[in-house]
Structure 1
Amino acid sequence: MFCRSHHMILNKKQLILHVLRARSIARRYLITNGFDGSLTILGMVTGFYASGMTELSVAISACLGAVVALFISGLSSAYLSEKAEREKELHELEQALLVDLKESDYGQASRYLPILVALVNGFAPLLLSLIILLPLFFAEQLHALPSSPFINAIVVALICIFSLGVFLGKISKTFWLWSGLRTLIIAIVVGSPTIGWSLLE
């Protein structure tokens, strides 16, 4: 009886650690892949603006192609890597306890949590990229905006990247403004050479 209760307590502790670890990994994926996706679309939009692109439909199609690629890549890579890691941990725990844990809470978490992490990794760049592209969508539908839709998209991208930095600062318990400014500086470094080169031509 004691061994059974001890095993249940140990299993619950392992489950809690498993969930907490998965939340931490999901947060990292949210920031890293969201940051990568935002920078990718920022670079593309900046390039279109610097080249004098006027065909919004072409720019939108190109950006959506990149967005879909980021989504599928993030979804599949995170799922495959996390699934392999969880199966390895489950197998090692089963060997240590000499029991089959596939139907336990821990075993079920090992199957479901990679899906959760993969969804975060895939949807983070997808949603942020679509938000950045909103000015292009609006401009294509309304056919008139007070300023360049590419400039508007660049501003939205900088806001999104700054917000990711603020979120990162909250997680690391550092000064949120400095954390946001660091990511913003990186974004400006990405876009400024393209615009600067176009002005020199």
Structure 2
Amino acid sequence: MPEMMTWRALQQALEISQSDGLIRRYFVVNGFDGALTMLGILGGFYMSHTEDLHIVISACLGAAIALFMSGLSAAYISEAAESQKALAETEQAMGKSLKDSAHGRAARWVPWLVGAVNGLSPLVIALIILIPVFVHQPGMAYSPLVLSISVGLGLMFLLGFFLSRVSQTHWLLGGVKALSVGLLTLAIILLLE
């Protein structure tokens, strides 16, 4: 991992690399992956009438950790390669090493940041979706799977809302579009049963 950076230096690295949009896209794309994966697993467990929440938690956590590792490593590896390529091209054009410059620091730090966002997004969303399952106690009057599925659909709506704010379109339309993807996923699972 590269040397520590201040908040201002990190902002400068994002500006130099023009990665803020990329990070936003990775957050949403992998957030969708995390939410849809949890909806798929929880929907499958609900359809099979599984009551052993330890199995549900193990399966969902396994998937969430796999999404985290996949997102972190894939984004870091690909972004590190792209950053090093761009830095080498800039160095060649300038005829000098930029290793110790702001450009060099950006080439080292931005891939880590992109990887962290790409990996943490599905993990955090998956953990939020699983809260009703984690806190459920025998005798409680709600179905933890139905409540977790509802939380997942709510998060899908919020991701769509976030995208609508970025694209400056109507928030309700963005939320409904994303929610529709979650509902369609559940409908397909129901049809397969």
Aligned with 1:99: secondary structure? coil
Match of 1:51 in 2: 48
Match of 2:8 in 1: none
Unaligned 5+ residue runs, structure 1?
A: 1-13
Q: Percent identity?
A: 44
Residue 151 of structure 2 corresponds to residue 153 of structure 1: no
Aligned residues: 182
- Matched to 1:93, the amino acid is T
The structure whose residues are more often helix, as a share, is: 1
Residue 20 of structure 2 corresponds to residue 23 of structure 1: yes
Residue 130 of structure 2 corresponds to residue 143 of structure 1: no
Aligned with 2:109: secondary structure? helix
Match of 1:42 in 2: 39
Distance 1:60 1:77, change over 3 A: same
Residue 179 of structure 2 corresponds to residue 184 of structure 1: yes
Unaligned 5+ residue runs, structure 2?
A: 1-11
**2 CA distance for matches of 1:16 and 1:120?**
13
**Structure with greater Cα Rg:** 1
**Structural RMSD (CA):** 1.4
**1 CA distance for matches of 2:77 and 2:58?**
29
Match of 1:97 in 2: 94
TM-score by length of 2: 0.90
Distance 1:196 1:146, change over 3 A: farther
TM-score by length of 1: 0.87
CA contact (8 A) 2:44 2:189 kept: yes
Residue 110 of structure 2 corresponds to residue 113 of structure 1: yes
Q: 2:69 aligns with which of 69, 72, 75?
A: 72
- Matched to 1:150, the amino acid is L
Q: CA deviation at 1:15?
A: 5.8
Match of 1:6 in 2: none
